[in-house]
Amino acid sequence: MNGIEALSRGDLAGFAAANGWQHLETATMPASTGGEQLFQGAPHDVIRGAGWEVGRLRGGTTSSSRSGRFLGIPYASYSTQTIPLDAIDVGYLAVRLARRLPHIVLDAPGNEDLLNRLFRGRWRGDRAFDLGGEFADRFRLYVPEGYERDALYVLSPALMALLIDEAGDLDVEIRDDHLFIYQPRGWDLSDVAVWDRIGRLYATVGTLTWDQTDGYYDDRLDARVRELVPLGDVAEPGRRVGPRMRSPLALKLTIALGVGFLLIALLGERLMRMLIGI
C-alpha cells in the first residue's frame, strides 16, 4: 500500500493516485436500483479499484422510482428525498462478483447501531433463516422465500467461518453481482489500520465469496435465459428480500386508493352529489 504520507494528511486523492486507484468525492452506489439504495444515503469519499470500491454512505439527495402494471395499466412513480449529511455515516466495501446472485442479508445483532436498527426494521421478520451454531449467534440471515437452499450453497462452512472471524461485528449483503460489507460507524479512511482491515476483508471474505459463487446458477430460470445472460441471472422472486410494508397486497391497496382519489377529483363535487343522492 503506497501513499501513506498522503493518507496521514487526509489526502485521499493523493493516496488513491499513489496506488493506481480512482478517488471520487461523490458517486452512485453500485448494484443499487430504485428506492432500495441503503438508507437512502449517498456515497462520499469513494476510492475505487479494479472490481472493488470503498466509501462512506452519508446523507444527501437521492431519487427513487417504481414501475409496474395494475389491472393491465402501466404505472410509474418517482420521488426525491434529501437527508442531512450528518444523519448517516456508514462505511462500505463493495466487491464485484462473477455473476448475479440471490439477495442475501446478514445482520450482525452485536452492533447495536444505526445500521443494525435499519436492517432490523427493513427486512421482514418471517424471512429470517437460522443456520444454527455460532453463525446464528453472530448473524441474522435474511433470504427471499424459497431461496434457503441457495443461501446454503453460497454460505459454505468455510465462508461462514471467515465471516465470523473477519466480519463478525459488521453487516453483510449480497445484492445482484456485488458483495457489500458495512461498517455501521463509518470508516476512518485516513487510518492505516482501517485500510489494513479493508484489505484483509477483500482478500479473505471477498475472494472466497467470488470463488464460492462463480459456478452458481438459478435452476428456476429457463436454460435459454442462462445461456443468453453472460453474468447469469436470478428469477424475480430471488432478486430481493421483501422489505417491510412492501407486500404486493399493500402495493395494490395503495394504488387502488390513489386511483380512487384521482377519480373523485376528476368527477367533481357536483357529480359526486348526484351519485350519492344529495
* pLDDT given for residue 74 in this prediction: 76
Distance CA 8, CA 129 (A): 43
3 state SS of 66: strand
- CA–CA distances in Å: residue 170 to residues 87, 92, 107: 19, 10, 8
- Bridge partners of residue 37, in order along the sequence: none
Which position has the grid cell 460507524? 185
- Per-residue pLDDT of 95-133, as tens digits, reads 999 999 999 989 888 776 555 555 555 555 556 778 888
Looking at residue 171, its amino acid is D
pLDDT band of 75, cuts 50, 70, 90: low
- Per-residue pLDDT of 245-278, as tens digits, reads 343 344 444 445 554 555 555 555 555 565 556 5
3 state SS of 180: strand
Count the neighbouring beta carbons within 10 Å of the beta carbon of residue 16: 21
- CA–CA distances in Å: residue 41 to residues 30, 135, 164, 177, 183: 13, 29, 27, 20, 14
Distance CA 17, CA 127 (A): 43
- Per-residue pLDDT of 203-252, as tens digits, reads 999 999 999 999 898 988 876 666 666 667 898 889 888 654 343 344 44
Name, in order, each residue with C-beta under 8 angstroms of 190's C-beta and a sequence gap of 6 or more.
Answer: 7, 8, 10, 12
Q: With CA atoms as reference, report the closest residue to 202 among 27, 89, 53.
A: 53
Distance CA 68, CA 81 (A): 21
Residue 11 zone, left/alpha/beta (φ > 0; ψ -120 to 50; rest): beta
Q: Are 103 and 215 in contact (CB under 8 A)?
A: no
What phi and psi values does residue 73 have, to the nearest 5 degrees? -105, 125
